[in-house]
Amino acid sequence: MASLSVSVKHSLPSLLQYAQTPKYPISHNLTIVSRSSQSQFYGLKVIHSPYISTPSSSTRTSIVAKVNKGTAPPPFTLKDQDGKNVSLSKFKGKPIVVYFYPADETPGCTKQACAFRDSYEKFKKAGAQVVGISGDDPASHKAFAKKYRLPFTLLCDEGNKVRKEWGIPGDLFGTLPGRQTYVLDKDGVVQLIYNNQFQPEKHIDETLKLLQSL
């Protein structure tokens, strides 16, 4: 299939207000291929290198989903906002909503966290736990949870190890950590995967809809 490569040199759109400033200069190659369910930009498969503008085929990488509906995700143990270790296995026996978000105190992430907070009683009524995960440290999570009175657990995925193990795709050509939500049933099996970077509140609607059908 024919492909078209373009070089992205201009500044990214204002939607980057949701992300932290990248640590390295960014240069990308985009290959237009086909519609992808993993991307907010239909028709784009993102291939990137943080150091060179035209990487060889041996250095090109793309994200492939490692967690799928109907499977059990890789286990993890992470620190919560109080510095205590929390394992995914702790929640087995009841449904759990695990949502990955870019960063504390960014506009979209704050809106999403507060939406989960405002609907928390509905999640409790459905018998489900809510857990948020980002790359922030415990101190950041603690301040974020206190400021917005978040009644649920926030976990610290420093180094984005779990994000990589679960295969969560990034947005905006890989510069923005993906916003992806999973619903696991009481047996720890994934029943829903929902990805929507720029409409954070829709994650709450979709997860509640699924939980109420279990």
Strand order in the sheet with 44-49: 5-7, 27-32, 44-49
Q: How far apart are CA 96 and CA 102, in angstroms?
A: 20
Report the chain's terminal Cα–Cα distance, integer Å: 42
Q: Which secondary-structure segment (H or E) carries 206?
A: helix 202-211
> Would residue 114 show up in a list of annotated catalytic residues for this protein?
no
Q: Which two tokens stand for residue 106?
A: 């960014």
- Of 67, 96, 109, 192, which residue is the catalytic one? 109
Contact status, residue 168 vs residue 174, Cβ threshold 8 Å: no
Cα–Cα nearest to 203, from 127, 107, 102, 115: 115
Exposure string for 152-175, b = 16+ CB within 10 A, e = fewer:
bbbbbbeeeebbeebbbbbbbbbb
* Catalytic (active-site) positions: 109
